[in-house]
Amino acid sequence: MSDHRRTTYRTPDLVLVEHEVDAPLDHDRPDGPRIMVFAREVADPAGLDKPFLVYLQGGPGSEAPRPTRRPTAPAWLDRALQDYRVLMLDQRGTGRSTPVGALPGMTPRQQADHLALFRADAIVADAELLRLHLGVDRWSVLGQSFGGFTALRYLSAAPEGLREVLFTGGVPPVGRPIDDVYAATYQAMLARNHAYDERYPRDRQRIADLMRRMDAGEVTLPNGDPVGAARFRQVGAALGMSDGAERLHYLLELDEDSPAFRHDLAALLPFGARNPIYALLQEACYADGGRTRWAAERLLPQAFREDRTLLTAEHLTHASLAEDRDLAPLAEATDLLAERSWPRLYDEDALRACRVPCAAAIYANDPYVDRELSLETAALVPTMRTWVDPDHEHNGLRADVGVLDRLLSMVRR
């Protein structure tokens, strides 16, 4: 069995156990290259014997939150610690797990083959490796957004390791072509644009004025990179969060030549070098088989083509990738990933036979994970209880402790 290292720390009100496990880069080649996978166990001092709840972060390509107590802790963590020890997993390639960077010295084909090993199937295999190291019979899982995609893969591939599974804004489509996914997300984003216009009716003209300056190369980030219209449109990713419309409006009220504007713009852009997996595997994380073929670019609706001030979200295009000096060197690898024939992530027969209790918060107006596609998947799982939530946005778990409370109540009924 691979090496497992652990270190324990104590804060005034938490016990933190850091776990490092050596894992195969490719789980189909256990004797090949290896990486390190990191997870942080978080517990109350009096809760060291409580069962585990594994937190799977959104993304793809995002590390787990860094735990603190209130007022800076996420709302759900204090609630979770009442019943569990929480295991914060840094998904492979993120945080303290062996990072994915610019992949220097590799050909584009080698880069693409390397990146292909960082999807949900590999994350689940890493989690199972860690579970065996810790000697845990079964544990619970909480999947936020992409973490829910990973949790569904877990139910498909290794349900014997699961006690219960909670989904928040992350029940993925199963067996659907990726074109169905992007057609749905664009319709949701069109509605989000219209809702934003109703709240801030003057901002659309402000965006148009900014884009004219972008065409002239006059809008830059703190590192000096010019931002073009294709890349700027992706700030619409904020509109699916509870505070996103306000964050965008407060950006647009700033002088675009000011340091504050450049800093806030960089913070709102969803893709970047800090998290390359997020951009480069964005479409692949939806691919339950088949090829993605730059779905976001292919399926851009006519309304968005005619009016470039309409904002997109997690929609990567050739043009927006080329504008990012850190991601642009991986453009050829991204082309190869787009033409890759991806294996299935989910086993429909296994999901229909599922006996693991599950509960899902499905956000009614979620622009990232479509409600109807989520409900279609939930209907496959006989143990899945669903709550179509009209009140919260995609970040409902972080914003309101009541989301976790309700899911726990549902899964235990």
For residues 231 and 321, is the Cβ–Cβ distance under 8 A? no
Phi then psi for residue 331, to 5 deg, are -60, -45
pLDDT, residue 275, reads: 79
Q: Which of 345, 277, 284 is nearest to 99 (CA)?
A: 277
pLDDT, residue 22, reads: 96
Tell me what the mean pLDDT of segment 43-70 comes to: 90
Tell me what the mean pLDDT of segment 63-90 comes to: 86
pLDDT, residue 89, reads: 97
Where residue 103 falls among pLDDT bands split at 50, 70, 90? confident
pLDDT, residue 73, reads: 67
| Domain ranges within the chain, ordered by starting residue | 4-175+344-412, 178-338
Contacts of 183 (CB under 8 A, 6+ apart): 299
What count of Cα atoms within 13 Å lies in the side-chain half-sphere of residue 100? 30
For 133-145, the pLDDT digits (tens) are 999 999 999 999 9
Between CA 174 and CA 22 the distance in angstroms is 31
Tell me what the mean pLDDT of segment 52-75 comes to: 84
Between CA 53 and CA 139 the distance in angstroms is 6
Phi then psi for residue 370, to 5 deg, are -65, 135
Within a 10 A sphere around the Cβ of 185, how many other Cβ atoms? 25
Is the pLDDT reported for residue 176 higher than 80? Answer: yes
CA distances from 24 to 37, 211, 252, 279, 346 (A): 10, 46, 46, 23, 22
CA distances from 123 to 57, 130, 150, 397 (A): 11, 11, 7, 22
Between CA 327 and CA 405 the distance in angstroms is 40
Between CA 56 and CA 88 the distance in angstroms is 7
Is the pLDDT reported for residue 2 higher than 80? Answer: no
Where residue 104 falls among pLDDT bands split at 50, 70, 90? confident
Is the pLDDT reported for residue 30 higher than 90? Answer: yes
For 177-217, the pLDDT digits (tens) are 999 999 999 999 999 999 999 999 999 999 999 999 999 99
pLDDT, residue 68, reads: 76
Where residue 71 falls among pLDDT bands split at 50, 70, 90? low
Tell me what the mean pLDDT of segment 258-276 comes to: 90
Which is more confidently placed, 123 or 276? 123
Is the pLDDT reported for residue 238 higher than 70? Answer: yes
Question: 6 forms bridges with which residues in the sheet?
Answer: 19
Tell me what the mean pLDDT of segment 125-130 comes to: 98
pLDDT, residue 333, reads: 96
Least confident of 93-107, 111-125, 130-144, 351-365: 93-107
Is the pLDDT reported for residue 318 higher than 90? Answer: yes
Tell me what the mean pLDDT of segment 27-45 comes to: 95
| Domain 4-175+344-412 -> CATH class | alpha beta
